[in-house]
Amino acid sequence: MKDQHCKLLSETLGIISNMKHLYASLEMEKVISELENLFISGPAVSDTRLDECKPHLALFMAGLAHMDIKETDESSKISALWDLY
């Protein structure tokens, strides 16, 4: 079951990275926060299956270059982004 979830996460990140308009979604800050929790600070960090998602995570992160994000913002989004990078 967890393998299917990893594949689903990978494909979802791949879809978002190819559809740039999705980065403008109001929910993107929550998505970024959840990814930070999943890959950096959450209990699943030690799950090696997440390594399979990292190529698609990299594509997702590259797509963030299209977002208007000010580095001076002291928001949780900026903090989560730096953690993911």
**pLDDT in 10s for each residue of the chain, 85 residues:** 578 999 999 999 999 999 989 988 888 889 988 999 888 887 776 778 888 899 999 999 999 887 777 666 566 777 777 787 8
pTM: 0.80
Cα–Cα distance measured from residue 28 to residue 30, given in angstroms and rounded to the nearest whole number: 5
- pLDDT, position 73: 55
Give the range of the structural domain holding residue 76, as residue numbers without chain letter. Answer: 2-84
- pLDDT, position 46: 76
Inter-residue contact 16 to 63 (CB < 8 Å) = yes
| Amino acid residing at 17 | S
Domain count, the chain: 1
Inter-residue contact 17 to 9 (CB < 8 Å) = no
- pLDDT, position 45: 67
